[in-house]
Structure 1
Amino acid sequence: MSSVIVVFPKKETAANIRNILVRGGIDISDICTTGAQALQSADDFDCGIIICGYKMQDMLYSELREWLPETFEMLLIASPDKWGEGLIEGVVGLPTPVKVYDLLNTVEMMLEALQKKRRQRREMAKKRNPEQKAIIEEAKALLMVRNQMTEEEAHRYLQKSSMDSGTNILETAQMILTIMSE
């Protein structure tokens, strides 16, 4: 699930941006005043957008971008002289004063791009080679024998374990084979 996290050193600024986005139909997951809070909030989601200013209470936007997972994009709202020499990868810039129309359109565009990347990752996961399929089948077979599961139950168990641990189903199957083979 994609998340939108707003991070500004002044809580009032973050609340104002959140209110603009909510009125525009965009759900906001969290508002924060520090980069550390934003990182902690980002850990709860698999992908999303961080909307922030140039400087938070504890770090600059570039430091926050460095610590964020690659599945997160960043929207920097700052005066152009702060990012005049160029933005780092994964950061989109909006100059201040920001126009509501520009803010809403930019966030919607970024959310659509995230959804597209997510679909592409899912498509890649579906295109497994025979060795990878064999590992998953072997893990299912082991679960079926050891835990008296049907193939469908074993597959559901692999899926749920994969989602709970935040890994893909292949990695989960490899872990099950390693643990149960000992």
Structure 2
Amino acid sequence: MNNNIFIAFDNKKTAVAIAKILIENGNNVVSISKSYVELINSLRYYPAGIIITACSFDNVRNEKIIDEIPDDFNILVLGTKTQLDDFPDYRVFKLSTPLQKNDLICSVDMFMTMDTKYKPTVHKNINEEKIIKRAKSFLIDVYSMTESQAYRYMQKKSMDTGRKLVDIARIILDI
């Protein structure tokens, strides 16, 4: 769980106001940046965190900057509804202004409690799929299960133990 918060705004007064709200709520604001270079330099020292910024920062639209930010950082973009509608959904969470104090706090708390950061669904690689198919075939042959029964059995074991389906398949195959 990451709790490092980076605030990046051209307007220092806005950045300090946001930092004050977050600090009063017990959050760890580690950096307030007025330029893109300052932000990137700050990120180097931390493995993950939350970046709170505006739709445009340091005279550059943030959609250009986002690709250069490491994937381990969640990005919360603040702006008017019109600005956010024009902003791409890729890798960001959007919060419209004018902003209520509670909205900001709840959004940051949501990031803090997320076990994983926002990512598009990652598909299993081909080797994992082959292992799962082999385990299903093994269960079908040895225990006379149907394919759906074998899959449900593996899925239930996966949920009961908190392990990935491919790990359960490896255990069944004793790999």
TM-score by length of 2: 0.62
Distance (whole Å) between structure 1 residues aligned to residue 28 and residue 108 of structure 2 = 11
Structure with a larger share of its residues in helix? 1
Compare CA radii of gyration and give the structure with the larger one: 2
Matched residues, number: 116
Runs of 4+ in 1 over 3 A off after TM superposition: none
2:95 alignment counterpart: 94
Residue 152 of structure 2: aligned partner: none
SS in structure 2 opposite 1:84? helix
Q: Is the 8 A contact 2:84 2:96 kept in 1?
A: no
2:94 and 2:64 mapped to 1: Cα distance?
A: 16
Query: What's the offset of the Cα at 1:54?
Result: 1.1
Q: Distance in 2 between matches of 1:6 and 1:89?
A: 19
Distance between the aligned counterparts of 1:108 and 1:20, measured in 2?
13
Structure 1 range deviating more: 78-87 or 90-99: 78-87
Decide whether the 8 Å contact of 1:49 with 1:72 is kept in 2: yes
Amino acid at match of 1:91: V
Which of the pair is proportionally richer in strand?
A: 2
Q: Percent sequence identity over matched residues?
A: 22
The answer as to 2:85 corresponding to 1:110 is: no
SS state of the match for residue 29, structure 2? coil
* Contact 1:36–1:58, Cα closer than 8 Å, also in 2: no
For the residues of structure 2 that align with 1:67 and 1:104, how far apart are their CA atoms?
26
Partner of 1:50: 51
| Separation in structure 1 between the aligned mates of residue 78 and residue 87 of structure 2, nearest angstrom | 14
* 1-structure distance, mates of 2:104, 2:88: 17
Q: Does structure 1 residue 66 correspond to structure 2 residue 67?
A: yes
Whichever residue aligns with residue 52 of structure 2, its letter is: I
What's 1:146 paired with? none
Give secondary structure in 2 for the equivalent of 1:88. Answer: coil
8 Å CA contact 1:87, 1:93 repeated in 2: no
Aligned to 1:78: 79
Which one-letter code corresponds to 1:108 in the other structure? D
In structure 1, C-alpha distance between the alignment counterparts of 2:23 and 2:15, rounded to whole Å: 12
What is the CA distance between 1:14 and its match in structure 2?
A: 0.5
Deviation at 1:42, TM superposition (A): 0.8
Give the equivalent residue in structure 1 for 2:40: 39
Which amino acid in structure 1 is aligned with residue 9 of structure 2? F
Is residue 35–residue 58 contact of structure 1 (8 Å, CA) maintained in 2? no
Partners of 1:92 and 1:8 in 2: how far apart?
Answer: 16
- Long gaps (5+) in structure 2: 118-175
